[in-house]
Structure formats: C-alpha cells, structure tokens
Amino acid sequence: MQIGTIISGGAHTALIGMAFLGSFDLWPSDPPELRVTEVTLIRAELFDTVTSSAPVIPLLDLEVPELPDAEFDAPVVPQADDAPVETEMDETAEPEEADENPDLTALLDVEQPDVSNVLDTVVAPSFDEAAPSLFQPAQDGNELNAPPSSISAPIPRNAPRIDTSAAERPPENALPGLETTTAVEDGPAEIIEEQQQDASAAPESSTEITPEGQENVAISLYAPVTAAKPPRRPRNLRVIVEEPESDLQEDPVLAAIEQAEREAAQAAAQQPVLAEMSGQETASIVSAFSPFWNKANLIGQPGFEQYVVIIEFNVTSTGVVERPVEPYEPSNPQGLFRIAYDSARRAVLQAGTIPINSAKFPDGLRIRLRFDPASGEIGLN
Amino acid sequence: MKNSLGVFLASFMLWAFAGLAVAQDRPLIEIDMSGGVIEPIPVAIPNFIAENSGAERLANDIAAVVINDLISTGLFREIPGTAFISAVTNFNASPQFEDWRVVNAQALVTGAVSTTTDGQLVVKFRLFDVFAQAPIGDGVQYVGSAEGWRRMAHKVADTIYSRITGEAGYFDSRIVYISETGPKNDRRKRLALMDYDGANLRYLTDDSSIVLAPRFSPNARDVIYTSYANGLPQVFLMNLETGRQSALIEDALNMTTAPRFSPDGTKVVLSVIEGSNTDIYLIDLNTRRRTRLTTDGAIDTTPSFSPDGAQIVFSSDRTGRPQLYVMSANGGEATRISSGDGSYNTPVWSPRGDMIAFTKIKSGRFHVGVMRLDGSRENLLTASFIDEAPTWSPNGRVLMFFRESAGVSGAPQIYSVDLTGRNLRRVDTPGFASDPNWSAVLR
C-alpha cells in the first residue's frame, strides 16, 4: 500500500514537474500564420516567352552585396618631377668614299654552275591497255526497249534454297492419321489410243443463232421499255361471267368500257422511255430555266422547304416548250403547292426555248422537272 | 339516260388515253432544278377603267394605291405605264397576252371603277398570269361608299397579293403608335391612328400626358395603352368608335404597364409594379378580376399571348439579365427560350404561331430579330443605335418597329422589314413616331 502510494505520488510529482518545466506541449502555440500566395495563370506560350527572354531570378533571398567603400586608392598623378625630358636623337653618319665605290672584282672570280638552254620535251605516259569502252545500246531495232545506260542491271536474287535433308522421324508413340493412303505401286503404263479430233461439232449439237429483231435496225438511245402494267380487271367481272355472252354484246356501255380498257392497256404498254443525257446537256437545260425560277413567294413562308413540285411538259426537237405545262406531283396542287407550281410553270413558259440536241431527239422530249425551293444557297438561318 | 352517260364516259376515257399515248411517244427526261432567283415579280397594273364620268379620278387613285401596296411588300415590281404597248379599254375583253409578255409582265391586273346613282362606288378587277395566258382566280367586285375607296383599293391589293403569294394580305389594316413632337428633353407624346400606309391619320389623345405602348384589340375596335394621366403609369382602355377611355384597374397605388390583349379579346395581360417587384397579371375584362401569373422577385414584363391563347412569352431578368421565357397562360413554371449573348426584350408572338419577334441588345447595339418557339434559329433582322418594339403584320410576313437615331437631335421613326430581313422601309408619318402596333385585317 505504501509502496503504491509512493509510486503514485512520485509519478504525479514527476508529471507536474515536467509540466512546469515545459516538457509537454500542453498549451499549443498559436497556429502558424497563413501565407497567401497569389498565383496568376498564364498560357504556356507566354511562360516560354518569359522564361526564354528574361534571366532566371532565383526565389531565394540573396544577400545584398556590400557596397564598396567610398574611399578608393587615388590614381597616381604624375608629379612635376616625372615630366618627360627632351633628348637629342642620334644622327646618321655620312657614307664614306669606300662605301660609295666598292671593289667587287673578287666576286667575279667565283665559279658559276652550267645551265642548259635546251628544253627537254616532256613525254606523256603511254598505256598499253585499251581504254574501257562505255555501254553502247544495241542496234538491233529494240533501242527503245534498251535499259538506260545509267542504270545497272539488278543483282539477281538468290534462288530459294531447298533443304533436301530428310525430316526427322516422328516419335514412336505418335498417333497415326485418320486417313491413310495406299502406297502406289508402279505398274504397267496404260496405253491410251490417241483419238482423232474433229474441228466441227456433231450436227445434232450445233445451235444456229438467229437474231429475233429485224435487220438494219438502229440502236436505240433509250433504255429498254419497262414492263407494261396488266390491264385492270373489270369490276363487274362476276356479272360479266354469269351473264350470257349475247347480253354482253348487246350492252353498248360494257362494250365501250371494254374498249376503253383495251386502249388503256395499250397506252400502259407504251410507257415513256427514259432518255439518256449527259451531265452537260442536263445542266444546260437547268440553266435555261433557272434564271426565271423565282422563289420569292416561297422563301419566308413557314416550312417552305416542303413545297417541292414536279411539272411535266413537252419540248419540240428545236427546244420550244409546248403547252400545257402540267403539274405531275402533286397532280392537283393546292395552297402553297399551287404557288410553287405557278412559279415553276412561269419559269418554264418564260424560258420559251431550251437547248436540246435535235439530232439526238428528232421527236422532241418530254421533260419532268423537279423544283425544290430549298435547293441552292437560298434559305433562312 | 344511263346508257348515254356511259357512252359519254367511255368516249371521254378513249380520248384521254389516246392523248396520253401520243404524249408519251417522246422520250422522257427527269431533271432536278437548282438555282433560282429571289426577285420581285414584274406586274403590270394599267389605270383602272372609269366606266362612268364620275369615276375617272377614283379609277386612277385606286390603281395607284394598289400599285403602292404591292410594291411596298418587296415581292412585286411595277412595270411603268410608259413601257406598255397595249392598253386595256374594255374590262370584259381578254387581254392581248403577247403584248404584256413582251414587256416582261408576269402578272396583269385589269380593273374598272364606276359609281352608282345612290353614291356607291363599284370596284372590280381581274388578275391574269401572262405567261400561262390564263386568269388567276375569278374576277372580284367590291361595292361601298366613295369615302371608303382607299379601303376598297387595299382589299383589291390584298386579293392580288393572296392569289400570287398564297398567303393573306395585310394592306387593309391600321397602325396605332405614339406620335412625338418637340425637343428630346421635352418630347410631347400623343396616341395616333393611321392606315398601314400612313393615310387617314388621326390623333386619339392630346399631349397633356405621356402615353406609351398602345395595343390593338383583336377586332381593332379598342386600344389599350399606358398613360401617365394620373401621375403614375397606368393602363387605359379606349374604344375607337366612341373615343371613351378608362383606367383598366382602379388602383392608384400600383403602376401597370405593357398591356396586351388575349387573342379572343376577353382578357388583358400586363405588368404590375409593386415596390421593387414587377410581375405579370391577367385581367378579365368582364369582371376586372386579376390573376397573378408570376411570383418571383425579378422584373417580369412585356407579356404576349400565343395565337391560340394557351401560352405567354415574356421578358424576365430572373437570371440576372433580361431573357425570354414561355409559360402557360394560367401561369406556373416558365421555360427560358433565349440563349444567346446580350439581353432580350419586348417579345411578340407571330400571328402564324411559329416565331417570336424580339428586341435584342448586344454590344451596345439594338436589334430586332426573330426566333423559333424553342429559341432556335435566331435571326437578327436589323441593327441600329436603337431598334425597338417590333409588331407583326396580320399575316406574319412583315415586322414594324421604331428606330431612333443617336445624338441630341435623334428622334424615332417607324420602319418595316420583311421576315427574311429584306425590304427595310421607313413608314411615312408626320413628325416623330414610336411604339407602333399593327392591327388585324379590318372586317
């Protein structure tokens, strides 16, 4: 008990002492002062420009260099004692008489070397071997096919090498293939008699091809005729079947209707053939109508893009527009479709004549024009 | 009888099919057109024929009004009379189409004017497609008092316009606007009424109090406007036939502005200024009961009904800058439709119902523009120092607005512009003019 009290008292005393002595940070100091750094974002190009042109300034605090003392060592001022002294220059002595007329006879006694006055001819070096001849194209008529002289022949590629060594034997425990082939034994060669070949086929196998059309028919410019629609069945077919034939023949109404239907079938058989035109021919026709196609009435209308009309009319071989200019689609234009049709019809009638190839179209043309007010660069944005 | 009819029908079918067969002998080529032009249609309108001695002057005047109406649209071009090589002397005679084709007339209008013994004026006309050599519709005749000859001329022009363009005309309509006089710092404002072309001007109020923002009722018999007669801006209702006017709301505490009729003419939607808040209210003209449509703290103003009366477009600065919003005519949630830069004001729903006209302020410039109902396809039609307060023509093809020039001497004038931005024209008014409103076509 006493020991525990002693230990506890000692420990508390030590803690209190340490608190007073400051070993524990019981009262934390003030939070560090916030340092606000303003950052400006600049573009990478600007940053590169700045860093490349301006000197790098370290962000460290540099010690300010001490200024030099104001007292300098005074420059040496020349004193009056050091002033230059004027001195006399040395004069050149006058030449003596011996120098002016020297005695050179001693030099004439010196032996001079012999110098030949005849020039030896320089001999060019001779070569025993003939000069290498340049490539000469062949003169065999294939000069144009000859390779150019500046291109050397290609180096031949190495031929593929074939390894003729035997392959390794398969392992002994290898499974045999599912398909086996029987070894072929060499037997006597089969003799095949050579049969005589005839150039002509047997009469029963030959086919005589005869043209179905007439001879000397001009090739049509137009596409093949489309299939004709079958004639419509009469609505009163049951009545016609059930009634005696004699009654039918006596009914002029039914006879006239049948006649009309036959005519209709024939007319349907004569479907219009499509003419072929080059892009230039088509463009010339479009450009003939285009200046007269006035869209002013449609532009500005709500949803004017939808008022597309197709009109149909005939043109003579000389390009004259024939009346009537009829609506094709819609067949009975109403409302703003009628306005679009009127505008299209006016354009066609105002153009009057259009350029077509009369030799190509001796019977004239039937033109189906589609007017889309949204075509071109005109519109609302 | 039955058999005869059948034979006739059968013969007709034979003839028709035979004709078809002949026509289809020629090869067919199908071509897509491209290009085209946008230019006024040349139209020849010779002087109308005076069918009796008292109608000469009116015959010429009526033809002149018809020409002016058509030319002002920008869709027609007059062929001058000096170019004519043919004269129309008999209203019932068929015109010599070739003579009119030579002068490049695409449409020809012939007309005649006569007066009756009881003082009535009779105006009749026919319209022809010169190149088709066929009439466009039947001839039309109008009968009325001689004093109403201008309206009759406008009716003729409306019919011609409608038959050629496919849309209703707008010439027989009126404009109510603010007539301004005096220097800029002491401008006198009066309510004025005129025909769409500036004729028949008359003033509805004197200049004793400032008036603003007049709007026609759908039947063009009433005008609603803002007046400072009581010291504060308040909405007044005026009957054009009696000249009687009265404050719409007898509430001297609140200021009311920017009124506009509902399409059925039974209600008025307007802005009520309460303190620093401005909200939109609906006023029942029969009971004068008011219904608050917006409740936010922003400035909600310049409301305009859709043609079916189901929706209202208005301007609000609830997001900081004035923008355009659409809400139900009963109030509730509003949907912002404008999305461009700048601020948007004075929206007006098109009579066609497909577009909304507005004033836009951007970079110090004012514009009158149009956009789709969802805010798409914004198209600025004008640009100026101040272009403001657009109003639609009855057919939704033309916008009228006022333009004010800069400077001390700057003054407002009324202009019109086509929906496509073409054909900008100044509307002649005596003195300065602002805040126009276009009526429906008169009945």
Q: Is the peptide bond before A330 cis (omega within 30 degrees of 0)?
A: yes
What backbone torsions phi and psi does residue B186 show, to the nearest 5 degrees?
A: -145, 60
Cα–Cα dist A32/B83, whole Å: 97
Chain A interface disruption, residue of B5, B34, B355, most A CBs within 10 A: B34
**Partners of residue B166 in chain A, C-beta under 8 Å:** 297, 301, 335-336, 338-339
Q: What is the CATH number of domain B174-438?
A: 2.120.10.30
Interface of A with B in 217-236 (CB under 8 A): 221-222
| Interface contact A301-B25, CB threshold 8 A | no
| Interface contact B28-A361, CB threshold 8 A | no
Q: What is the pLDDT along chain A (381 residues), one digit of tens a residue?
A: 577 888 888 888 888 877 666 555 555 555 555 556 566 565 665 556 555 544 444 444 545 455 545 444 444 444 444 444 444 454 555 555 656 665 656 655 555 555 444 444 444 444 444 444 444 444 544 444 444 444 444 455 555 455 555 656 655 554 444 443 344 444 444 444 445 544 444 444 444 444 444 444 444 334 444 444 555 555 555 555 555 555 445 677 788 888 878 877 776 666 667 878 888 888 989 999 999 998 888 887 888 889 999 999 999 989 999 888 999 999 999 988 999 999 999 899 988 788 888 888 888 999 999 999 888 655 333
Task: Summarize the confidence of residues B53-62 as an average pLDDT.
Answer: 91
Sheet with strand B412-418: strands edge to edge: B386-392, B398-404, B412-418, B425-426
Q: Residue B5 above 80 pLDDT?
A: no
Tokens 């008092």 found at: B145
Query: Angle at CA A144, nearest 5°, toward A140 and A147?
Result: 95
Cα–Cα dist A230/A227, whole Å: 9
B403, β-bridge pairs: B387, B413
**Partners of residue A319 in chain B, C-beta under 8 Å:** none
The per-residue pLDDT for A278 is: 85
Task: Summarize the confidence of residues B45-57 as an average pLDDT.
Answer: 91
CATH class of B41-165: alpha beta
Q: Rounded mean pLDDT of chain B? A: 90
Give me the sign of the Cα torsion angle B412, B417, B421, B422.
negative
Query: Angle at CA A222, nearest 5°, toward A311 and A358?
Result: 70
A251 burial via Cβ count (<10 Å: 0-12, 13-18, 19+): middle
Asked if A298 contacts A343 with a C-beta cutoff of 8 angstroms, the reply is yes
pLDDT level of residue B100 (50, 70, 90 thresholds):
very high
Nearest beta carbon to residue B27 from set A273, A282, A338? A273
| Interface contact A273-B354, CB threshold 8 A | no
Question: Both tokens of residue A46?
Answer: 């600007």
Q: How distant is the Cα of B8 from the closest Cα of chain A, in angstroms?
A: 9
Asked if B378 contacts B357 with a C-beta cutoff of 8 angstroms, the reply is no
| Interface contact B34-A376, CB threshold 8 A | yes
Question: Both tokens of residue A77?
Answer: 């001022």
| Interface contact B131-A277, CB threshold 8 A | no
Q: Where in chain B is the domain with CATH 2.120.10.30?
A: 174-438
Name the residue type at position A308: V
State the SS3 of B305-340: ECCCCCEEEEEECCCCCCEEEEEECCEEEEEECCCC
Task: Summarize the confidence of residues B296-304 as an average pLDDT.
Answer: 94
- The Cα-based distances of B230 to A215, A278, B208, B249, B257 in angstroms read 104, 79, 11, 12, 13
Neighbouring C-alpha atoms within 13 Å toward the C-beta of B287: 5
Instruction: Tell me which residue of B443, B441, B439 sits closest to B215, measured CA to CA.
Output: B439
> Would an 8 Å CB–CB cutoff place A138 in contact with chain B?
no
Cα–Cα dist B298/B310, whole Å: 23
Quickly list H helices, chain A: 2-21, 44-53, 97-100, 105-108, 237-242, 245-250, 252-269, 279-289, 336-351
The per-residue pLDDT for B98 is: 93
Instruction: Tell me which residue of B388, B381, B382 sits closest to B414, measured CA to CA.
Output: B388
**Partners of residue B164 in chain A, C-beta under 8 Å:** 297, 339, 342
pTM tops 0.95: no
Kind and range of the H or E run holding B246: strand B245-247
| Interface contact A252-B11, CB threshold 8 A | no
Question: Both tokens of residue B110?
Answer: 């012939």
Task: Give buried/exposed letters for A148-185 (b at 16+ CB in 10 A, else e).
Answer: eeeeeeeeeeeeeeeeeeeeeeeeeeeeeeeeeeeeee
Task: Summarize the confidence of residues B36-49 as an average pLDDT.
Answer: 93
- B350: nearest CA partner in chain A: A302
| Interface contact A297-B131, CB threshold 8 A | no
Interface of A with B in 330-369 (CB under 8 A): 335-336, 338-339, 342, 344-346, 349-350, 361, 363-369
Give pLDDT tens digits for B226-244. 999 888 889 999 999 999 9
**Partners of residue A381 in chain B, C-beta under 8 Å:** 377, 379
Size of chain A, expressed as the number of residues it contains: 381
Neighbours of B89 (CB within 10 A): 9
| Interface contact B10-A257, CB threshold 8 A | yes
Quickly list H helices, A42-152: 44-53, 97-100, 105-108
Cα–Cα dist B268/B235, whole Å: 10
**Partners of residue A366 in chain B, C-beta under 8 Å:** 23-24, 26-29
Asked if B435 contacts B178 with a C-beta cutoff of 8 angstroms, the reply is yes
Nearest beta carbon to residue A295 from set B17, B29, B37? B37
Instruction: Tell me which residue of B329, B348, B263, B344 sits closest to B291, measured CA to CA.
Output: B329
Least confident of A257-266, B151-160, B285-294: A257-266
Q: Residue B93 above 70 pLDDT?
A: yes
Of these ranges, A300-309, B326-335, B402-411, the one predicted with the greatest mean pLDDT is: B326-335
Cα–Cα dist A3/A19, whole Å: 24
| Interface contact A300-B418, CB threshold 8 A | yes
Cα–Cα dist B178/B414, whole Å: 10
**Partners of residue A252 in chain B, C-beta under 8 Å:** 3, 6-7
Instruction: Tell me which residue of A229, A369, A315 sits closest to B17, measured CA to CA.
Output: A229
Q: Where in chain B is the domain with CATH 3.40.50.10070?
A: 41-165
Least confident of B161-175, B252-266, B429-443: B252-266
Interface of A with B in 231-270 (CB under 8 A): 252-253, 256-257, 259-260, 263-264, 266-267, 270
> Would an 8 Å CB–CB cutoff place A378 in contact with chain B?
yes
| Interface contact A345-B132, CB threshold 8 A | yes
ipTM score for this prediction:
0.77
Nearest beta carbon to residue B31 from set A270, A282, A349? A282
Cα–Cα dist A76/A89, whole Å: 29
Nearest beta carbon to residue B10 from set A256, A282, A299? A256
Q: How distant is the Cα of B165 from the closest Cα of chain A, in angstroms?
A: 5
Instruction: Tell me which residue of B124, B94, B95 sits closest to B111, measured CA to CA.
Output: B124
Cα–Cα dist B79/A83, whole Å: 114
Question: Both tokens of residue B162?
Answer: 């409608």
Question: Both tokens of residue B334?
Answer: 């509003």
